[in-house]
Structure 1
Amino acid sequence: MNLNKKQTQYLKGLAHSLKPVVLLGNNGLTEAVVAEIDFALNHHELIKVKIPTDDRETKALIVDAICRETNAIKVQVIGKTLVLYRESPEKKIRIPKI
């Protein structure tokens, strides 16, 4: 699923008031963390993940790995916070069509 600019802006607005649901620890991206992100996406559809690194390349690799492993869409990355979206079967969030 690809999001257009208007849909991305809508999700950014919804994510603004959210608190991070998953925090990566010193061990980085482990299978347990990926499983927790997957569970949170199933439950909430739109989540924030805190990535504790200042290195842009490392952060980009982690973000790509999370998106690939969970089949989620990266909505945005601000600082150390990643916003992810994945539609669940219940479709809790109604995204504008256009």
Structure 2
Amino acid sequence: MELRGKQKRFLRSKAHHLQPIFQIGKNGIGDAMVAQINEALEKRELIKVNLLQNTDEIAEEVAHVLENKIDCTIVQIIGRVLVLYKPSTKEKYQKLSKEVAGI
């Protein structure tokens, strides 16, 4: 799903107050981590992921891997923090995606 500029701006404003709920450390990003991120996106639609200083991963590479594996959209990368968005498939969790679709 490709987002327009206004949609990304809206999502960035919503993500500003969020705390990162996942931290990628020296073990890198594994299949279990990808599955957990996918589950969190299903319920929240918008999350932040933090890369710790002891990791060898690069934020852009992690973003590319996550985009390919779980079909999410990278809203923003600031330093070592990624903002991810994926519309939920369940209607009861689709608060944010309805607002994004209206923009």
Q: Give TM-score, length-normalised by structure 2.
A: 0.85
Match of 1:10 in 2: 10
Instruction: After TM superposition, list the pairs within 5 Å mapping 1:19-34 onto structure 2.
Output: 19-34=19-34
Q: How many residues align?
A: 97
Question: Which runs of no fewer than 5 residues in structure 1 stay unpaired?
Answer: none
| Structure-2 separation of matches of 1:34 and 1:71 | 11
Q: Please tell me whether the aligned partners of residues 54 and 80 of structure 1 are also in contact (alpha carbons under 8 angstroms).
A: no
Match of 1:59 in 2: 59
Instruction: After TM superposition, list the pairs within 5 Å mapping 1:73-84 onto structure 2.
Output: 73-84=73-84
Superimposed CA distance per residue, residues 50-98 of structure 1 (whole angstroms, 9 cap, x where no aligned partner): 112599x832111100111111000000111000000002222021534
Q: Please tell me whether the aligned partners of residues 22 and 48 of structure 2 are also in contact (alpha carbons under 8 angstroms).
A: yes
Match of 1:37 in 2: 37
Relative to its length, the structure with more helix (as a share) is 2
Identity of aligned residues (%): 37
Q: Please tell me whether the aligned partners of residues 24 and 49 of structure 1 are also in contact (alpha carbons under 8 angstroms).
A: yes
